[in-house]
Structure 1
Amino acid sequence: MTDIRPATTADLDAMVDVHTQARTAYYRAGGLAEAELTDPVERAERFAGWRRAISGEGLVTLCAVRDGAVVGVLSMGPPHEQDAEPGSVGELYQIHVRPGSWGLGIGGRLHAAYVTALRDASVPYGRLSVWERNDRARGFYARHGWRPDGHHTPGPGGADYLRMRLAVRGIGG
């Protein structure tokens, strides 16, 4: 059984480990050089980022816990880019599942918690950015109803981040 619960600062090390393992898997699969994946400065930045996500006002940060271990993480909040009407979009900043736990429905449970949070706040649309070479994530999001919105930004390895949008059924779509 996997439980989804709010993250705490006690979870930080485990959250960074999950994030690091997941990003290493998808960037490596997308052809990024090993040197770009093992930079210790980036790990420290991930730790600081998750700490901000846990303590940030208006942010939601969740952990998926299975057999006492953090196996998935999620953070969400208002959009980074203020190009939408306030309160109309909730951004999924990050969702990561430990590679050894892929295929167990953990990502789906975290995604469902995200959609529930949008519905509870009457936010009609979700938004996220995904690395274009992360085929696994792009497929996951497409299966959950996400569609590209045409916006993209430069990403690592000469590949863009593609922005996707989700109409939350019963509110905006």
Structure 2
Amino acid sequence: MGENIAVRVATPDDVDRLVEVHTQGRLAYYTAGGLSPEEVDSPVWRQERHTGWSRGIESAQQQVWCATLGGEVVGAAAMGLPHAPEVDDGATGQLFQIHVLPDRWGHGVGGLLHGVFLRYLAEVSRPTGFLEVWERNERARSFYARHGWRPDGTSRPGPAGSRYLNLRLAVSAGT
């Protein structure tokens, strides 16, 4: 802790670094959950991540933020209105993803990016947050629980016979 981590809106110039942060984070938590690196990463998936981050940055419906340390991107977050119509009840904003370089875990990067999401919810006047988390990603599940997220009882299929759990966060006024 005590490091000078800054958060800012991501730009198209950040996309390659966002892909790298996303890839390193995914490799760490999916392999910890029992998947092989080959099941998590490939040139095709890196290209899909590149396309996804680029679209997010260009989208008027999403916000993409990055956390930097010494000018280097060490974390990323994407948020917006929910994609799934069954989720968007007019009161919900979605945290699509937070990724932090594994060697920066525990240094406050994720917490700063989570704070950006809380500010986003206030800006768009949505009192509820929604996200999906892989059930085997114990570190992320613990992080979100510490920040007040709770399972809503729904899920969807995930890799290797697992699930993606849906979490909700009720935001109080003034958060």
Superposed CA deviations along residues 12-63 of structure 1, whole A, max 9, x for unmatched, are: 1100000000000000000012221232100100000000000011211000
Q: Are the structure 2 counterparts of residues 57 and 37 from structure 1 closer, same or farther at C-alpha, using a change threshold of 3 Å?
A: same
Alignment of 1:134-149 (within 5 A): 134-149=137-152
Moved over 6 A (4+): none
- Uncovered stretches (5+) of structure 2, i.e. residues with no partner: none
**Aligned partners of 2:19, 2:44: CA distance in 1, in Å?**
13
**Aligned partners of 1:70, 1:36: CA distance in 2, in Å?**
25
Shift of 1:86: 4.4
**Structure 2 counterpart of 1:72:** 75
Amino acid at match of 2:121: L
**Aligned partners of 1:133, 1:26: CA distance in 2, in Å?**
8
Amino acid at match of 1:59: Q
**Helix, strand or coil for the counterpart of 1:57?**
coil
**1:5 matched to 2:12:** no
**1:18 matched to 2:21:** yes
State the Cα RMSD in Å.
Answer: 1.3
Shift of 1:74: 0.3
Identity %: 51
**Helix, strand or coil for the counterpart of 1:152?**
strand
Alignment of 1:58-137 (within 5 A): 58-84=61-87, 86-137=89-140
Superposed CA deviations along residues 144-169 of structure 1, whole A, max 9, x for unmatched, are: 00000011000111110000000011
Shift of 1:103: 0.6
**Structure 2 counterpart of 1:55:** 58
TM-score by length of 1: 0.96
Amino acid at match of 1:164: L
Q: How many residues align?
A: 172
Amino acid at match of 1:148: P
